Structure 1
Amino acid sequence: MMKKEFVRCLGALTLVLATTISVSAQQKQKALTIVQQGSFAIGGTLKTEPGNFELDHALKAQGQTFHGDHAYVFYQNPVKARQYPLVFLHGAGQSKKTWETTPDGREGFQNLFLRRRFSVYLLDQPRRGEAGKSTVAATISPIPDEQFWFTQFRIGNYPDYFPNVQFPKDAVSLEQFYRQMTPNTGAYDPIVVTDAVSKLFDKIEAGILITHSQGGGPGWLTAIKNEKVKAVVAYEPYSGFVFPAGELPKPIKSTGLFGELKASVIPLSDFIKLTRIPIVIYYGDHIAKEPSKVWNMDHWRSGLEMARIWVATINKHGGNATVVHLPEIGIHGNTHFLFADLNNVEVADVLSSWLRKNNLD
């Protein structure tokens, strides 16, 4: 057998073995029973071009409409659902896929919490994924950058994995992870995102909002805008922290590639709304404890530090907010995608305990 053919066969065998392992693991799960599932668009805007539509000139814009900037929602309702559904909002460069099957084929939070009798609503935010119909133009450039994201998301310092990392180290899983990334089809706009997410809460009447990374900022804004958000759970938010006037902290410097971290000011009357619901923020491992020249670890140090200041400010005003740094409670090795890591069942158990403690289950 020629060398190229051998390598090709070996690669195919690796894929088959990885797939077989994943399928076998899934077969051991008990059957899921749901009473309803479906999908729909929510929110968005409508543009209408002046003039009258002419059948003989149907390719002309005049008199025609354009629906865009909505969110896409996929939902599942289990038998004997708990009191509040869970609404999942992804982070930057991601879609609802981030909550679905993990890169190595295990169940993600979608199924883990469906099995725990929570209705689940998975969002593609406006201008992303299956909600890609944007009202503003964008240029999508195929720039190679995946090794940057490997490092930024604390899987390791490429090409090295962190020694105890909870990310699968096989090539198939890493490829699946890279392929789940998806671009914006229009400029990222937290207000557009918030409007759509708020419309979803109007539709379902009440729920718990679970966000990841860049979704943190729209998460706070949605909770401020809509009292039907009964709690906010945020996994590794970095930007979007809001403070009342006169209490804005100084920017936090970092050796991370995005520079210093700044918060923004909102009216006290809006900030107080965040004190009326339980809020919890989770961070994973390999975050610097003090300023470091290792840029990815230092980047997330500034985020964790800002989160602690933010939580302290909420609690000073009578709120119920908590930051949980998983290594401090004995859970080690988690990446930026801690809800999809190898120990995601343990991570889910931590969230379940918090929901129970706050009478949200």
Structure 2
Amino acid sequence: MPAGQAMSNALTLADFGSFYAGGRPVRIDGLPKREIAFTQSASLSYDPNGLYHFEQAYVQYFIPARLAHPLPIVLLHGGGMTGTMWEQTPDGRPGWVQHFLRQGHAVYVVDNVERGRAGWAPFEQVWPEPPIIRNAEESWSLFRFGAAADFEARRAFAGQRFPVAAFDTFIRLAVPRWLGNNDAALQGFCAVLDRVGPCLVIAHSHGGEVAYRALHARPDLVRGVIGIEPSGFSSQVEAACVADKPFLFVYGDYLDATPLWTKLCANGADYARDLARQGGRVDTWRLADMGIAGNSHMPMMDDNSDDIAARIGAWIRSAAR
């Protein structure tokens, strides 16, 4: 890269760092002690009973030297993912963290309860159900990279924009999740919002439910939500929480690939109408209908991810106050 180009792409930060938010102290009692060896030369008697802290969220933040918009952006991952999904694409291009920083937003990247650096609880007394983790086959079809029958051949949908050659890198992003932790995830995310203050939330997939519930739990802090193919929503929509706030729904291509996606899109349309009826300022983008074909469930990783980030940034500048 020429030196001049490198300089023009430089990004100056005023501050960056991380913090934990929320969670609860938990005391574990009644479990047996056991001998453990934690290196080849060190062993001890391990007592799992005692005081712990679980269900906290982890946040990494970046503040650009030149802020172009007063509202920071909080990036909330989807199910079975962590904040790394926003940092870099599987084929090594800059992620949406960098794009929104360059647009002049402070950016907060969340690892919510049980994910990534937020940590998890290994005790059934805390989370009684076993975790699940998404396998490669499910990711292939659920995220609409290609038909389930074409997984072994890695034959993607025609015109697919996801970098399929980097699929094996992508599946390394998957982490365990506990399906019964939605309320804990909401509480952890609200603790994040309490630290960040008024903001815009960009939520992907399962993160939609957490974001829209947080909109109602912290209406003074969530000033708008960009739902990237959200798969969950709040059970009610209250005018006092949504009136005159901007909401954007973004959907990619191949939405008729499975009955599940037909249902999820219908649910999203219903929720968007509920927001509008209660005074929200709602826009819905079906990218394929806008002449932008080929996007998967992961537009922040598709080969036009920078263009979509730019479009969302323009929407924020026109819609978010």
TM over 0.5: yes
C-alpha separation in 2, matches of 1:77 and 1:230: 19
Aligned positions, number: 294
* Structure 2 partner of 1:236: 229
* 1:112-168 deviation per Cα after TM superposition (whole angstroms, max 9, x unaligned): 11111111111111011111233425545788x312211110111133201111112
Residue 105 of structure 1 aligns with an amino acid whose one-letter code is: G
C-alpha separation in 2, matches of 1:313 and 1:286: 25
* 1:21-61 deviation per Cα after TM superposition (whole angstroms, max 9, x unaligned): 9xxxx96971221111111111101123589xxxxx99546
Query: Per the alignment, in what secondary structure is the counterpart of residue 69 of structure 1?
Result: strand
Shift of 1:336: 0.1
**Structure 1 residues 280 and 124: CA distance shift in structure 2, 3 A:** same
Residue 353 of structure 1 aligns with an amino acid whose one-letter code is: A
Structure 1's unaligned 5+ residue stretches are 1-20, 52-56, 243-263, 289-293
* Structure 2 partner of 1:349: 310
* Structure 2 partner of 1:329: 290
Q: Give structure 1 regions of 4+ aligned residues with deviation exceeding 4 angstroms.
A: 26-29, 57-62, 140-143
Q: Over aligned residues, Cα RMSD in angstroms? A: 2.5
Shift of 1:169: 3.2
Query: Per the alignment, in what secondary structure is the counterpart of residue 243 of structure 2?
Result: helix
Query: Per the alignment, in what secondary structure is the counterpart of residue 130 of structure 1?
Result: helix
**Structure 1 residues 142 and 350: CA distance shift in structure 2, 3 A:** closer
C-alpha separation in 2, matches of 1:213 and 1:122: 16
1:319 equivalent in alignment to 2:312: no
1:196 equivalent in alignment to 2:149: no
**Structure 1 residues 304 and 187: CA distance shift in structure 2, 3 A:** closer
**Structure 1 residues 131 and 163: CA distance shift in structure 2, 3 A:** same
Residue 48 of structure 1 aligns with an amino acid whose one-letter code is: R
Query: Which is greater in Rg?
Result: 1
* Structure 2 partner of 1:259: none
**Structure 1 residues 346 and 301: CA distance shift in structure 2, 3 A:** same
Shift of 1:323: 1.7
**Structure 1 residues 28 and 80: CA distance shift in structure 2, 3 A:** closer
Query: Per the alignment, in what secondary structure is the counterpart of residue 303 of structure 2?
Result: coil
* Structure 2 partner of 1:275: 243
Shift of 1:188: 4.0
TM-score (norm 2): 0.84
C-alpha separation in 1, matches of 2:242 and 2:288: 27
Aligned match for 2:161, one of 151, 159, 166: 166
TM-score (norm 1): 0.75
C-alpha separation in 2, matches of 1:167 and 1:280: 22
C-alpha separation in 2, matches of 1:140 and 1:193: 15
- State, as a whole percentage, how many aligned pairs show the same letter: 27
Query: Per the alignment, in what secondary structure is the counterpart of residue 70 of structure 1?
Result: strand
Structure 2's unaligned 5+ residue stretches are 31-43
